[in-house]
Amino acid sequence: MLDIRRFDIYRKVPKDLTQPTTVGAVISILCVLFISFMIFNDILAYIFIDLRSEFFIDDPGREGKIDVQVNVSFPHMACEYLGVDIQDENGRHEVGFVDQTNKVSIGDGGCRFESRFEINKVPGNFHLSTHSAATQPESYDMRHLIHSIKFGDDVSHKNLKGSFDPLAKRNTSQENGLNTHEYILKIVPSVHEDYSGTILNSYQYTFGHKSYITYHHSGKIIPAVWFKYELQPITLKQTEQRQSFYAFLTSICAVVGGTFTVAGIIDSTFFTISELVKKQRLGKLT
């Protein structure tokens, strides 16, 4: 009858033929600690999602259009006078855009202005003003608090690092109420793809600001809040990646196997040297 034990490549050494040493114990403890540390790091790398970034020249998202969300409070301007006007280099000139626009009275005669609209992917501007009002107020005060100015898909729930809404919480309450405010926005397309394959087309931007007194052709001071934008040709793509289970398992095996192999070589080297030293002391080394 065939003895299957003949095929055992992991032959066992009887315990009475092995010799424990202090050096071997120290190496074994260090080996276990090192393996535990490396496995812990591998588990963290497997659990957490890695974000890979790349730049390229492209025009992502819906062809030719960008969604815009505006949320601004005017503590000293009534809602009946406020509106949003949209202009761009394609010839669009829309005064008093009203679709998806919501005005909520706040405080003593103030207004919280919210609107969603689309802009073309060409240089242009949108501005909050009294230009579309049927009648103009007796006095103007365009001091404001910006809650958010966002472009593209909302990625706030993703907690991404970046400049997706840098104008949030900007407050001009200490400035002259008759000032016109001009924000210059440099917009960068930003594509986010999560590990499930869902793609969000958002936009990051930086801004510059200046304020000044401007006069209407009638000679009156009619302030406004301008947002002048320009798109950049570079697109940032951020992709979520998670380590595969196969790569995780391979890394664990490599750590355990490699550590034990190196530790075995070190232990064998120390043991051989110690044996040579003992023989030298006994005069048995030839």
**Does the model's pTM come out above 0.75?**
no
280 band by pLDDT with thresholds 50, 70 and 90: confident
By C-alpha distance, which of 203, 232, 237, 239 is closest to 54?
Answer: 237
Bridge pairing between strands 93-97 and 110-120 = unpaired
Lowest mean pLDDT among 1-5, 26-30, 252-256: 1-5
| N- to C-terminal Cα separation, the chain | 49
pLDDT given for residue 64 in this prediction? 78
Q: Which letter does DSSP use for residue 221 in this model?
A: B
Average pLDDT (214-232) is 87
Query: Do 113 and 73 meet the contact criterion of CB atoms below 8 Å apart?
Result: yes
Taking phi first (over 0 means left), then psi (-120 to 50 degrees means alpha), and beta for anything else, what does residue 91 get?
A: left
* SS3 state at 69: strand
Locate the domains of the chain by residue range.
10-48+243-266, 56-240
Q: What tokens does 286 get?
A: 């030839």
Q: Which residue has the higher pLDDT, 79 or 60?
A: 79
Q: Which residue has the higher pLDDT, 257 or 63?
A: 257
